[in-house]
Chains A and B, each alone.
Chain A
Amino acid sequence: MPRTEFSPSIASRPVYAGLTSQGATPAIMLADAEGAEALIDLAGQDASVMDRAHLIYIPAGAPHGPRLAALGARLYHEAPSFAACLERYRQALAEAHMGSQLYLAGTEGLIGQATAEALAAGLPADAIHTEHRGSVARRMQCVHCKGVTENVTTDPFICAHCGLTLFVRDHFSRRLGAFQGVCVDAETPGIVPPAQEIKP
């Protein structure tokens, strides 16, 4: 799957510039599913980018593990979910120092959460490199109950926590790593427009 091209949006919506090698510096790399192909392409640009890299992969059913493992990262780890590797990722962020680079690739949910963790850990924004690949599913925070629903692919959708039907906004919080969902039938309870697939 190639890099995702998104249509122009509002200023809070993140843009994913694509990965380019920052050289053989200490690096943390995190990818899910099709994000693996972005790291494979990155290593294709500059194999030395892997020399000091700690690579964490969340396959989520995708078959790219063996190719990623063969790229020669200093540390390679496969995790079943972001939650499962969160403490490992946090420790890596805590040990990062001046000049360490972070490469994130895959879905917006993964990039959003991983960016929020990195910023909270004090990593400078210009050390964070991102590339979107794969599903355009969104990570949505319900503005009413504050619960986060992962992997939202339709607009509107049902909040996994409070059950309200929410429309999908482009307004995005980097601190939360999530888009905002707002009750779609607040003014006319029960009148809900048909669900549409979310477009890039």
Chain B
Amino acid sequence: MTIRFNDETFRGDYTYHNSPEAIRRFPFPFDQDSYMYSVNIEPHAGGRAGSPFEKRFDVDEHYVSEMKDRAITLAEDPMRCQSLPHMDLAGWDFLELVMTSKAEDYPELFELHRDGDRWHWINKPMGIEQRFTFLDTTTLPCGPLEYITRQTQGDHALLDQREGNLWMDAGMITSQADWSLDFDIGMNFFEWHAPVPKAHEMGVFQRALKFLLNLQQGAPVRRLNWTMTVNPRLDTSPENYHKWGPEKRTITPETVGSKQYLRVELQTLWRLPRSNAIAFPIRCYLLSLEDLVSVPKWGRRLHRVLRDLPDELAEYKGFAVNRPTIVAYLAQFDDGEPTSPGIFPD
């Protein structure tokens, strides 16, 4: 399998686009015609060939451009990557996990040669070659978490486990759905989830935390989360909200198909071996509504989900103002036919 990497932007002129193959493999998050929060966790043990669930860390046509966008965001705001002092070992654990997984899953793109603690990493798509000593930070250009996540699509949080809770003590967060690492760093599972409506009362977070505290090494899990984003913008951070906020009001019946995106996060959770921390990659996929409705099942289903979604969720996810326009647009693609179970196209 060879991937042609797109040359595209996630800001300014927004030249981001999906190839027909990328549309077909989009991780559509709804397995039925309605949506409510739940503990939607399943083993991350591969998946349908070609789907984003197949490999441990999915690499797709957006890889190189996404990493350029991250570099721009970090140059403007280095605090998007932070690690509390006790999280260095977890950073190394995560670097090892990513390098070994990518070299095995994409041997034509990545190579890792190890001679004891002397490692040699080759990242062909980004043109990077690095020799370093494992666990010796002075041999890398930056800390291990920053080093590997500048080369890995998706945001990444590292959670320390203590006192029967998880603590968000490190992260690389440049493509977030409107939350701040700088504000949330050091919080526990219940604190950083505090702004989410309904889920606390439903017991979702209690059950999810209990499950995660028992997560085992070698048995990663995954879940999907979603929201709606205007323009294919990765950096929808609260830090820059006053800059991207006005774009949210540019949705009209004429622009909604091309400017309104379904944003899906493929979140995976990994127990790390030395630190006992948990790594939480949050991989973001963006698909415009006009591309989405090219899969008839998805057009029908998204219409029904968004039409019937409780107001609190639309409000929290930040698309309440545009919901009527979005639903009216999608209604054209809903003929009322039943939809098949599961997330994949028919």
Binding site for B on A (CB under 8 A): 10-13, 141, 143-144, 146, 164, 169-171, 173-176, 180, 182-183, 186-189
Of the listed stretches B68-76, B180-188, B259-267, B285-293, chain A binds B180-188
A108 CA to B187 CA in the complex, in Å? 18
Q: Which B residues are CB-close (under 8 A) to A173?
A: 183-184, 186-187
6 A-B contact pairs sorted by A residue (CB < 8 Å): A10-B194, A143-B180, A144-B238, A175-B185, A175-B186, A180-B238
Are B191 and A146 closer than 8 Å at their CB atoms? no
Q: Is B193 engaged at the interface, CB distance under 8 Å to the other chain?
A: yes
Given A171-B194, A187-B249, A164 contacting B186 (CB threshold 8 A): no
A82 CA to B249 CA in the complex, in Å? 43
Q: Which A residues are CB-close (under 8 A) to B195?
A: 10, 12, 169, 171
**Option from A12, A143, A174 in Cβ contact (under 8 Å) with B238:** A143
**Option from B182, B240, B242 in Cβ contact (under 8 Å) with A146:** B182
Q: Is B246 engaged at the interface, CB distance under 8 Å to the other chain?
A: yes
Smallest distance from the beta carbon of A120 to chain B beta carbons, Å?
A: 10
A182 CA to B183 CA in the complex, in Å? 12
Q: Which B residues are CB-close (under 8 A) to A182?
A: 238, 241
Q: Which B residues are CB-close (under 8 A) to A174?
A: 186-187, 191
Select from chain A the residue with minimum beta-carbon distance to B197: A10
Are A11 and B242 closer than 8 Å at their CB atoms? no
Tally B residues with Cβ within 8 Å of A.
Answer: 25
Are A186 and B242 closer than 8 Å at their CB atoms? yes
Select from chain B the residue with minimum beta-carbon distance to A119: B186
Are B191 and A187 closer than 8 Å at their CB atoms? no
Q: Which B residues are CB-close (under 8 A) to A146?
A: 79, 182
Q: Is B200 engaged at the interface, CB distance under 8 Å to the other chain?
A: yes
Interface centre among A169, A173, A176, A183 (most CB of B within 10 A): A173
- Chain B 180-212 residues near chain A, CB threshold 8 A: 180, 182-187, 190-195, 200
Are B183 and A180 closer than 8 Å at their CB atoms? yes
A46 CA to B287 CA in the complex, in Å? 64
Binding site for A on B (CB under 8 A): 79, 180, 182-187, 190-195, 200, 238-242, 245-246, 248-249, 321
Smallest distance from the beta carbon of B74 to chain A beta carbons, Å?
A: 16
Q: Which A residues are CB-close (under 8 A) to B240?
A: 144
Q: Which B residues are CB-close (under 8 A) to A10?
A: 194-195
A141 CA to B182 CA in the complex, in Å? 11
Are B241 and A183 closer than 8 Å at their CB atoms? yes
Select from chain B the residue with minimum beta-carbon distance to A116: B186
Given contacts A180-B238, A183-B241, A183-B245, 16 further A-B contacts (CB under 8 A): A11-B193, A12-B192, A143-B241, A144-B238, A144-B242, A169-B195, A171-B183, A173-B183, A174-B186, A174-B191, A175-B186, A175-B187, A182-B241, A183-B242, A187-B321, A188-B249
Interface centre among A164, A180, A187 (most CB of B within 10 A): A187
Q: Which A residues are CB-close (under 8 A) to B239?
A: 143-144
A12 CA to B190 CA in the complex, in Å? 7
Given A143-B180, A186-B242, A13 contacting B194 (CB threshold 8 A): yes
Q: Which B residues are CB-close (under 8 A) to A143?
A: 180, 183, 238-239, 241
Select from chain B the residue with minimum beta-carbon distance to A180: B183
A164 CA to B239 CA in the complex, in Å? 12
Select from chain A the residue with minimum beta-carbon distance to B192: A12
Smallest distance from the beta carbon of A164 to chain B beta carbons, Å?
A: 6
Smallest distance from the beta carbon of B86 to chain A beta carbons, Å?
A: 12
